[in-house]
Structure 1
Amino acid sequence: EMVARAHQALDLLQYENLALRIRVAKDLGYAHMARGAIDQALQAFSEAMTNGLSARYPYISFMAVSDYAYVQYARGGAHTAVLACRQMISQANTRNDLSAPGSGLPYLALADISRERYEFAGALPALAEAGARISNKNKTSYICLMIVEARVAYVQGEIGAALDHIRRARFVAQQHHLAWGSAVIDAMEAQIQIANGNLGTAASLLERVGLTPSPPEFRFFPPAVVYGAQHCMVASLQLRLARGLADDPATLRGLVSDLEDLICTADQAGLLWSQIKLRAIQALAFAGIDQERQALTVLKRALSLAAPESYLAVIVSEGAPMADLIARASASNWLSEADTDLTAYLQRLKSLLDPTTYRDELQPTLARAVADPRNYAAALPEPLSARELDVLRLVAEGQTNTDIAETLVIAISTVKSHVNSIFGKLGVSTRAQAIARARRLDLI
């Protein structure tokens, strides 16, 4: 009934009532999420994010594009999600709206989805921007920021940093009674403990998650829906898998059976990430009870689903057991000549699952991203020019417009023009904000 009334409201609120219409559209998206109507939710979020800027309510557009991107990511549209975030950032920059509240949200979604695809050249600068823009006064966005920081750190192989982010996030979630955040954070730490063989610690964390009634955010708030599925749901399955692989075939057989129902549900809902993950776990369970043929069949289906949009973290996070299974699969010549795309994807997976990859490939890439300001500047919708960087450095030194004009031998009016351009590109309105943002981006 609520959804029907919301649709009636949209029919009555024509485009001369755009401000109210976009609010109704965004809330309608949440209502559709709660009832599992994913396509309708995407349509509602799309309207809100498209019209929010036109109605001069950019913060609604920023929230809506984040919601839209996370839903697309969950259902297998990572490329579409990334494009939507980048377009929103570019449009907001053109309209000088990047200083509005909520501007960190499209950057945060962009960082998280780029993490899934191991695209750190996009993830790291976007995460830096998100961190500079999201205030701890907005507890929901701030918790999301710390969760994504932990997710990115974990994929980078920085386990200590991931745990630091998790523990900071836990303090904030508990302090502000954010039940959904606490559940996600405990499940994330449990997954790290499982990967490191600490099954008792993981079980205690997941027991705490299980004692909490399912938070409503897991049904309607897209980031929480994604985090809940990827951590709270998956962690318990990974714990059963780890226990089974430690010489408990009965547990593995029960897991294989239970996963059939979960896979069917994910397939019917069109949730691609879950379809991939559940099959990956089932393939490992099959392998653990020596049903190699079934394991390879299920694994091939998982990889076939993951390859087109380059979903990588979903597979790589299964660690050494997955590396062993893929190695055996490769040795069995299980792919035909027609599987060209899958072959290339498989090679990328094997590289990422190789323990030497972080040392030989990822670590140098990450170091370059941190050391070279141009990599962070790439996150800006429009990079600063060489002259603007010169002006920015002098601003950071505390020089006035007159001082800068004398240093660079240019007119004061030219300095003012450069400063205004810098403010627009960085999405700030004061010198102090510009300096802080530039330092977060390693521009100065």
Structure 2
Amino acid sequence: MGKALCTAEHMGLKFDRAIACNLQITIHCKGIVNIEFFQKALNIIQKRHFYLNVFVDSTKAEFNQFEASPFIPLTVIDDKGLNQWPEEAEEDLNKRFSAENAPYARVKILRSSNECKIIMTLCHFVSDGISGLNLLRSILEVYNKLLNNETDFGLKEIPEMALDFELFPEGIDEDFSIFPPEIEQDIIQKNRIPLEQRKVGFFEHTLSVEETCSLTSKCRNENTTVYGALCAFAMAAMADEISERYVSIEEVAVDCISAINMRQLLNKPISDEQLGFGALMAKTHQSVFSKQKSLWEVAKNAKRDLESFILKHGLFKQLYFISEAFGLTDEEFSQEMEYSGQYIIISNLGIIEDKNMPRQLGNIEFEKISLSGTTHYVQGTEWGIFITANTFDGRLNLGFNYTKGYWDSNRVERYANKVVKIINEMSNG
């Protein structure tokens, strides 16, 4: 007898079939990884997590346990330099997981003589960035104990997560749509790249410690957050991109979708290491940009907007969308998610503390954490881009994920440079 999919799991499955959602976490390390012990640690941690040991029976809408779970694939590649990491990461990121074939994770290690990159790719159906980061941290902690010949890994049982309506606050209205309002129709991209042909690329920029400190200090002085500032600055840079293309447009409306962690907002809070798609929801911000627009005011509005949304249980209202989605075919659902527009989605993990990822374990020193992902309903337009952010070791790292064909490497680098220029100008203004 299998375990029936709950509401949030149905949503995750629908999303994955319709828009192919993967996420990826890369840890850049100094030191050499012992592959044998890493594989053992990977296998040990896999057994703890329900979602890494099941497959979906779509005919019955339920999870079924494997008699003998297949191990998470681990690929080891020698790093030949010449910026090989982005190519290897993109290759894994663009491989679709099948909901009927588990496990919903894979790991690749790119190694050289004195450093390595550990690349974990997960199906968004079973994980978000927070739980994925903690999954990787727990693998590395067990790996370190294996190296030290320890047998007690201190692992506690993780309860199954069921994100259904009994976990949500009361008094939720059903009058809610996940889709943003109508926007400028004359700048919508009409020539779509079919979903199955889309490939995601990414570009990174890491702020220095000094730049990161200047930004956070200015945000405090302006009574907003880094998250609010990133929304404002990313939208402003996109408005500038659109204005350069359509010089006759004096005002540009831009949407920005904020990914929100709702783990501690449930009636029964769940831990950061609990895998599950339903632990993440989103809020759409919209702002109209002109030459007179105050970006700090946009940042403050984004902060207030987000706080009000959470206070009014907007996160949970979104799940009512599923009651309608269940009646749609995969193709109809995909068309709904392909709503045209110029969207930005921002997912910020904030400051990654030692409890989420230590700076060093044994002979491995962690230098940087990169986040990337495929969110094709956002990236599936000429103006769509998915921005990831995290602050590790005092530096803010930004990832710009884009759909090849709509964007190329030169265009995304130009856009990223605009965002960074605005960050520095506003931080020091």
Instruction: Answer with 1 or 2: which has the greater Rg.
Output: 1
* Higher percent of residues as helix: 1
TM-score between the two structures when normalised by the length of structure 1: 0.22
TM-score between the two structures when normalised by the length of structure 2: 0.23
* Higher percent of residues as strand: 2
